[in-house]
């Protein structure tokens, strides 16, 4: 299966703008709002949303990152030597409205692990989920509050999100799992 373009840079910009407006509207502004991206591309997508909200509201939403490696329920099945990335939440989450951000929602297990991790850090007022793409196949009762694109996929497909460190989404493609990533 060849790669199919789901989003190019222009359509991604429109998607981020729409989602930023939805987040602002739903939270009645940016007061008491923080964002936490799930390592690694969730952090990059969170940066895109943070940048757009700053442009729209003139306020920089605090942004943190979490690594859910040790909260996974399938850690021993996946690898002998897990790659652990940085968890950096330089603010309190107590009584905050958290936007938990990831790039792709699939089974829901990553989100579940992230929520467990967050509750180990404190008790937020609420947690809402923002994802770039929801590809279906949920195994847990998890749904995105803010979803960029809903793309039902087959189990032999994979979604690639090309996002820069600064939060620019270059493209999002879908491909067969058997193809080399690149």
Dihedral of alpha carbons 60, 50, 66, 117, sign:
positive
Q: What is the pLDDT of residue 76?
A: 47
Q: Model pTM greater than 0.75?
A: yes
DSSP H/E element including 117 = helix 109-121
Residue 45 belongs to what H/E stretch?
helix 41-57
pLDDT value at residue 84? 60
Walking along the chain (182 residues) 10 residues at a time, the average pLDDT comes out as: 87 98 96 95 97 96 90 52 74 97 94 93 97 95 96 93 95 81 49
Whether residue 5 contacts residue 173, with contact meaning beta carbons closer than 8 Å, is answered with yes
Residue 130: strand pairing partners: 101, 146
- Tell me what pLDDT residue 3 has: 85
Residue 75: its pLDDT value, please?
46
Predicted pLDDT at 107: 92
Cβ-proximal residues to 180 (8 Å cutoff; 6+ apart), any chain? none
Question: What is the pLDDT, as a whole number, of residue 71?
Answer: 61
């Amino acid at each position: 299966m060849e790669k199919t373009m789901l989003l190019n840079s222009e359509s991604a910009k429109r998607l981020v703008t729409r989602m930023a407006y939805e987040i602002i509207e739903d939270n009645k502004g940016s007061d008491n709002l923080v964002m936490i991206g799930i390592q690694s591309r969730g952090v990059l997508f969170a940066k895109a949303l943070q940048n757009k909200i700053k442009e729209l509201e003139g306020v920089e939403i605090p942004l943190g990152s979490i690594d859910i490696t040790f909260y996974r329920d399938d850690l021993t099945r996946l690898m002998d030597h897990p790659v652990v990335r940085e968890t950096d939440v330089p603010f309190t989450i107590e009584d905050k409205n958290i936007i938990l951000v990831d790039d792709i929602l699939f089974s829901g297990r990553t989100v579940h692990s992230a929520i467990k991790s967050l509750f180990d850090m404190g008790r937020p007022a609420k947690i809402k989920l923002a994802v770039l793409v929801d590809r279906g196949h949920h195994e847990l009762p998890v749904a995105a509050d803010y979803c960029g694109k809903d793309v039902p996929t087959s189990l032999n497909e994979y979604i690639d999100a090309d996002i820069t460190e600064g939060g620019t989404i270059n493209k999002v493609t879908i491909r067969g799992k058997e193809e080399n990533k690149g």
